Amino acid sequence: MNLRSRAVSVEAQEPFKRIFVEEAKRLIDSGVPVIDVRELGEYQNGHVPGAKLVPLNSFLRDASKHLPAQGPVIFVCAVGQRSAVASEMAAAVGATEVYNVEGGTKAWIAKGYPIDR
């Protein structure tokens, strides 16, 4: 391995964990809070049960205001891109156990898991 490829792999590390919907469901069922960073209309069309709506722009304005005081937190959006941005911000303001749902709400629905409207 040359130095260039080694530096790239270090830079690619994220301060949050990407999880699939199966692990997300397990964590949610155990009480881990979920923040949905989509827009209101998307959220109203169907969301993970118990997910708190905090659109990404609102979250980015004051991330620490929307995070639980301590413990883990899960972020979800439509497919996992906006929630990855929120996860990055959460880690930047001090959250240490941050999860991003890969495939987002679309993957959740495709798996047949329940949604709230």
Does the model's pTM come out above 0.85?
yes
Sequence-distant (6+) residues with CB within 8 A of 1 are none
Q: Where are the domains of the chain?
A: 14-110
Instruction: Tell me what pLDDT residue 17 has.
Output: 97
Q: Which CATH class is domain 14-110?
A: alpha beta
End-to-end CA distance of the chain: 50
Residue 96's pLDDT is 93
Alpha carbons 106 and 94: distance in angstroms, whole number: 29
Task: Sheet containing 34-36: give its strands across.
Answer: 17-19, 98-101, 73-76, 34-36, 52-53
pLDDT in tens, the chain (117 residues): 444 434 433 446 899 999 999 999 999 999 999 999 999 999 999 999 999 999 999 999 999 999 999 999 999 999 999 999 999 999 999 999 999 999 999 999 999 999 999
